Structure 1
Amino acid sequence: MKQSSSIGYLTIIIFSLILSCIEKDRTIQNTTITVNWDNFITTQNLNSIVLQNITDSMFIPTQIHISKNLLFVSEKSSDAILHILNIATGQYLGIHGTRGAGPGEVLNAWKLFSPDEETIGVFDPELGKAIVYDIDTLLNENKYSKEYLQSGMINSNGVSIVDENIYFLSNMNMPESRILYYAKTTQGLNLEKKGQLPTLDKKYPNFQAEEERSVVSHAKLINNDKIFVVSYYNIPMMTIYDIKSAKEISIVGPDKFPEPELFGNIRYYYSSYISKKYIYLLYIENKKEFDYTSSTILVFDHNGEPVKKLLLDTEIFQLAVYNDSTIYGLVDGTETSDFEVVKFQIE
């Protein structure tokens, strides 16, 4: 963070608390940064274009992701699970993958992720498994490459695989950790931990500790290589974990925490995406109860510094970003279609 921007720009509170990692002789420095709307100095208005060829092929899309210059949309209502679009040509490449409970199959393609630039991963929380496809093999032979089956992943909202380590979110019953991972060792896979579930400093005294943890624990996990982001649905907060340097930065804002009567009933950060440079967060400004669509995207760098605010002409519920130049989004319910895939060009 630049020193000149620390006064009147961001309020930085550095806690003296040092959180211990499972890794020996290493610690995570926990830094909390409070942001407000004035910190987003640049605002851009973006117009949508409907991608009709993939829209016409969808039934009930759930997630959207980009890997190897291809756009992937997971499908809930079909024997196959992944719609694929060539970003460069705009050609729809069909729907691939297999739905089921057998090897290489998923019942619920809940989250998509990229172990590397040549693969696409699908996480199924119902089966507690992650399937990884080599993209060329998926397109040519409709076959999977690897399967990771771990019962501990069942409650996670997102999975990442880096260097064969399987990262996922802990649940409300493990407040002493936030990210869990099965680390590959010569003896197999060992369960290790990083971070901790946020505590709210008695903001909600009428809630029992278990009730508070239940509300706070709803979050999404994403990563780009060794930079991980956990964004929270029910509180205005996200945390950046740099696994390589063992640094942890929590961002609070830009809105205040909800009043007690609304705690757990309104949303903040719903969808998220991370590129090699920036973090993109779909932020719910309209605080209707249980609203999950938005036309506001907040952009941060990997150090948690606000970069800009993007205002879309169409509300979306999921996003993916291509080369920091184009945003792809899923739209729920329009006059012409139940769901649409749209894109926005960033100036």
Structure 2
Amino acid sequence: MRNKLLLLVGFSAFFIACSPRHASDEIEKEEIVIFNEKDLPDPIVLTGRKYNFPAIINPRYILCIGDYLVVSEKSNDNLLHILDIKSEKYIRSTGKNGFGPREASMVYKLENASEKESFWCYDFEQTIFSKYSVTGDTSKLAESQLRLGEIFHYVKDLTWASDTSLLVTMVDGNDKYFEVSLNGDTLATFGKWGSMMDRKDIPYNVISSIHHGRIKSSPDKSKFISAGSRRNFIDVLNKNSGKILSIRGPIDEIPEFEVDYSLGYPMANMNLETLTVKYLDSFAGSKLIYGLYLGKSFRQISDPDKLNRLFVFDYQGNILNHFALDYPLTSFTVDEKNGIIYGVTIDQDPNVVAFALPEGSLLTE
């Protein structure tokens, strides 16, 4: 049975560089929706069409921009590949690997830019956003770069919240999500890590590490999601209302862990023998949420028995679709206009794969 709970969480101030505007001055409500395997619709098998782009060696992330795909490499002289979806042709590589002007040393995230046919590449090591164009010239250097302030070295994950602000998670503190300016000034805070566990003796940084997830934003930057890789949950933040919906399942349990102080500060020491990967990746669409679910050890990711599944929810937490994929993926993106999921495989010959969604599986109105 699908259960709904309301948590009332007290709100307190946290300072990075200035006094924040809180999502609620007094009390914030976090709604929890719990589901299990019995609540999932029967799985629909999606048969992937795998491409063979020889230049792609070790892909990690993928982004859909109109008629183009951008694929990042884990490590390569060229960090990025640009593909034309319509012609199914490899266009060019870009992103010079290095520490010089308009270079990047790694790709931690790919994000759409406000300009059409442009995208951001975030270098976590250098805390730099680099902007590229899929239709630009043949230079491998970024068109422009944005170096973030010192405070961003203490950020765990981030995504654009507007043209002038970012939504981030921090390495410590009870507040879950911060909207910050590009200078690091706190504009708003949302949610509390203490709401994720009943135990009150666990340090907040330990709770947040157990609930690590990569933040994704909807196209209009009004809603944000974070899907847990270690615990079964998807947080859904409505930035306008400040409310958080937490979708829990298909097994709502906290993984085994101990608080380890051996390095002089608390850390989550997790049992690697029993630890399973939950959500590998997620996508925040205009009206739908997609979660790429593994539910087993990462070492078993390519095991043909029970490959990745894709759960689809609306923003109210209702389960709409349950897809079974025939290729193991590490990340994916959704072309909502044409109803196609693109992913990067993790197998003997990793590359790009496309899955056509069944007609009617997207909410277009």
Same fold, TM-score > 0.5, yes or no: yes
Q: 1:291/1:257 Cα in 2 relative to 1: closer, same or farther (>3 Å)?
A: farther
Whichever residue aligns with residue 202 of structure 1, its letter is R
* Aligned twin of 1:33: 33
> Secondary structure at 2:327's aligned position in 1?
strand
Alpha-carbon deviations, 1:35-86, whole Å to 9, x = none? 112322253110011111x3x1112212111123311111233222210111
Q: 1:65/1:272 Cα in 2 relative to 1: closer, same or farther (>3 Å)?
A: same
1:346 aligns with 2:345: no
1:183 Cα offset (Å): 2.6
- Alignment: residue pair count: 325
**Distance (whole Å) between structure 2 residues aligned to residue 258 and residue 248 of structure 1:** 19
* Aligned twin of 2:265: none
1:111 Cα offset (Å): 1.3
Map residues 275-290 of structure 1 onto 2, 5 A cutoff.
275-285=285-295, 287-288=296-297
Q: 1:25/1:229 Cα in 2 relative to 1: closer, same or farther (>3 Å)?
A: closer
Q: 1:65/1:178 Cα in 2 relative to 1: closer, same or farther (>3 Å)?
A: same
Q: 1:210/1:248 Cα in 2 relative to 1: closer, same or farther (>3 Å)?
A: closer
Q: 1:39/1:150 Cα in 2 relative to 1: closer, same or farther (>3 Å)?
A: farther
* Aligned twin of 1:191: 186
* 8 Å Cα contact 1:222/1:274 also seen in 2: yes
Any gaps of 5 or more consecutive residues in structure 2?
A: 14-19, 258-269, 359-365
* Aligned twin of 1:5: none
**Distance (whole Å) between structure 2 residues aligned to residue 260 and residue 211 of structure 1:** 16
* Aligned twin of 1:51: 51
Any gaps of 5 or more consecutive residues in structure 1?
A: 1-7
* Aligned twin of 1:97: 95
* 8 Å Cα contact 1:166/1:182 also seen in 2: yes
* Aligned twin of 1:303: 316
> Secondary structure at 2:136's aligned position in 1?
helix
* Aligned twin of 1:14: 6
TM-score between both structures, scaled by the size of structure 2: 0.80
TM-score between both structures, scaled by the size of structure 1: 0.83
Q: Which moved more, 1:235-244 or 1:39-48?
A: 39-48
**Distance (whole Å) between structure 2 residues aligned to residue 93 and residue 289 of structure 1:** 32
**Distance (whole Å) between structure 2 residues aligned to residue 138 and residue 256 of structure 1:** 49
State the superposition RMSD in angstroms: 2.7
Alpha-carbon deviations, 1:90-130, whole Å to 9, x = none? 12111112221233221011211123362211111111222
* 8 Å Cα contact 2:130/2:145 also seen in 1: yes
> Secondary structure at 2:157's aligned position in 1?
coil
**Distance (whole Å) between structure 2 residues aligned to residue 149 and residue 292 of structure 1:** 35
* 8 Å Cα contact 1:123/1:130 also seen in 2: yes
The equivalent position to 1:333 in structure 2, one of 347, 350, 362, is: 347
**Distance (whole Å) between structure 2 residues aligned to residue 157 and residue 24 of structure 1:** 20
* Aligned twin of 2:263: none
* 8 Å Cα contact 1:242/1:248 also seen in 2: yes
1:230 aligns with 2:226: yes
**Distance (whole Å) between structure 2 residues aligned to residue 25 and residue 123 of structure 1:** 27
Q: 1:143/1:122 Cα in 2 relative to 1: closer, same or farther (>3 Å)?
A: closer
Q: Which moved more, 1:123-132 or 1:211-220?
A: 211-220
1:141 Cα offset (Å): 7.8
Q: 1:36/1:95 Cα in 2 relative to 1: closer, same or farther (>3 Å)?
A: same
1:217 Cα offset (Å): 4.3
Q: 1:158/1:57 Cα in 2 relative to 1: closer, same or farther (>3 Å)?
A: farther
Whichever residue aligns with residue 201 of structure 1, its letter is D
| Identity over aligned pairs, percent | 20
Whichever residue aligns with residue 191 of structure 2, its letter is G
* 8 Å Cα contact 2:75/2:106 also seen in 1: no
